[in-house]
Homo-oligomer: A and B are copies of this chain.
Amino acid sequence: MSTTTTWLDLPDDTGYGLNNLPLGVFSSHPGAAPRTGVAVGPWVLDLAAATGDPVHATGTLNDHLAQGPAAWARLRSRLIEWFTDPAHREAVAPHLVPRAEVTMHLPVTVGDYVDFYSSQHHAENIGAMFRPGSPPLTPNWKHLPIGYHGRSGTVAVSGTPVVRPNGQRKEPSDTAPTFGPSRRLDIEAEVGFVVGAPSQLGTAVPVGAFAEHVFGVCLVNDWSSRDLQSWEYVPLGPFLGKSFLTSISPWVVPLAALQVARVDPPAREPALLPYLDDAARWGLDINLEVRLNGEVVSRPPFASMYWTPAQQLAHMTVNGASIRTGDLFASGTVSGPERGQRGSFIELSWGGTEPLTLNDGSTRSFLQDGDEVTITATAPGTGGGRISFGEVTGGIVPAR
């Protein structure tokens, strides 16, 4: 909880105290126009109504995000003042809506979606399974944060049904590929970064300018079909194995809420090229939890990531590629060194050879129709307590 005094009646463990204040897009009843809200305790503050600013009534965070870091800071200061000074209670309180009653929408209009591959533990696990006999890390892995573009048009808000994808699958014993529903449907538990302020084409964003461009953080489930992926991905990378759906949490936690969550990333060896030097310390102590049908199956630690989001942004733009408001880049699967910290089922079940045993005694390697996966996360908040990232969830429905 935050130690800041507030006239709001906030539970101690709310996760949505004045030290969090994530932004999202909600509608208060069916048919209502989606608008920007801020989560505080069990409520959503209707920012369009409370501020009267049309920038918050557009149905996407992009318009506010495009205003840049000074505007983000002004809004945050204003919210804290409103919630701490009882003089504002009368004006503000009528615009609080119970969070349990609202419908959440995709928070941003996504420009480009980039997915990195920045957990050494994950990369080593996947490399060992996908390229047996080769070193698990490719020679470039410790020199640059490997990433690729994903499909921005299929980034959807938490709760969107996950239709099991069809596609080409080829088992090692098959002489030719077959077509049908994926048999190895998986998750990737990730953390995503939402770009606010754009950059100019032809100009790199230095690693130190991370917080001038990135507004905040959400949770990402990069649903993955391992059988489609393994057949298609050489030589140009993952495509249909990933593009059917990427789910994100509806609340975007501002970087401003994560100052006390910043930690040193792991030691890097060999030394980095100067443009990737990250004295700025943008490792983040975010603890994820992955639940399958309500049961915790993994607790991936984001602090273990080899590459930080500041390095990812610097790398992504060092060739002059521009970023736009609403661009989303994700960390790649977060996997820690322990089995119970792996962020995907292919790792948790070691490619299906070591199925998980669930509480009801059943076993599971990949996702079945009807399964529901929910990822949650928390981080230390200013003033004590932990702030919540909410959740990203999705249920599997049969292939069409």
Chain A interface residues toward B at CB < 8 A:
111-112, 117, 127, 130-131, 138, 140, 143-144, 146-154, 156, 160-161, 163, 165-168, 170, 176-177, 179, 201-204, 225, 228, 231-241, 243-245, 270, 273-275, 315-316, 318-324, 327, 400
Q: Which residues of chain B come closer than 8 Å to A166, judged between CB atoms?
A: 204, 318-320
Q: Which residues of chain B come closer than 8 Å to A235, judged between CB atoms?
A: 127, 130-131, 138, 146, 233-234, 237
Q: Which residues of chain B come closer than 8 Å to A400, judged between CB atoms?
A: 202-204, 320
Cβ contact within 8 Å between A151 and B237: no
Q: How far is the CA of A375 from the CA of B238 in the complex (A)?
A: 30
Cβ contact within 8 Å between B244 and A319: yes
Q: Which residues of chain B come closer than 8 Å to A147, judged between CB atoms?
A: 236, 239
Cβ contact within 8 Å between B236 and A117: yes
Taking the nearest CB of chain B, how far is it from the CB of A136, in angstroms? 11
Taking the nearest CB of chain B, how far is it from the CB of A94, in angstroms? 37
Contacts A165-B319, A179-B273 hold; do A140 and B232 have CB atoms under 8 A apart? yes
Contacts A153-B321, A322-B153, A400-B320 hold; do A176 and B236 have CB atoms under 8 A apart? no
Q: Which residues of chain B come closer than 8 Å to A327, judged between CB atoms?
A: 153
Cβ contact within 8 Å between A237 and B240: no
Cβ contact within 8 Å between B148 and A239: yes
Q: Which residues of chain B come closer than 8 Å to A112, judged between CB atoms?
A: 151-153
Cβ contact within 8 Å between B319 and A243: yes
Q: Could you pull out 6 A-B pairs where Cβ atoms are within 8 angstroms?
A: A117-B236, A153-B323, A160-B201, A168-B273, A177-B273, A240-B316
Tell me the nearest residue of chain B to A167, going by C-beta: B319
Contacts A228-B319, A319-B244 hold; do A239 and B152 have CB atoms under 8 A apart? no
Q: Which residues of chain B come closer than 8 Å to A234, judged between CB atoms?
A: 138, 140, 235
Taking the nearest CB of chain B, how far is it from the CB of A228, in angstroms? 7
Taking the nearest CB of chain B, how far is it from the CB of A46, in angstroms? 28
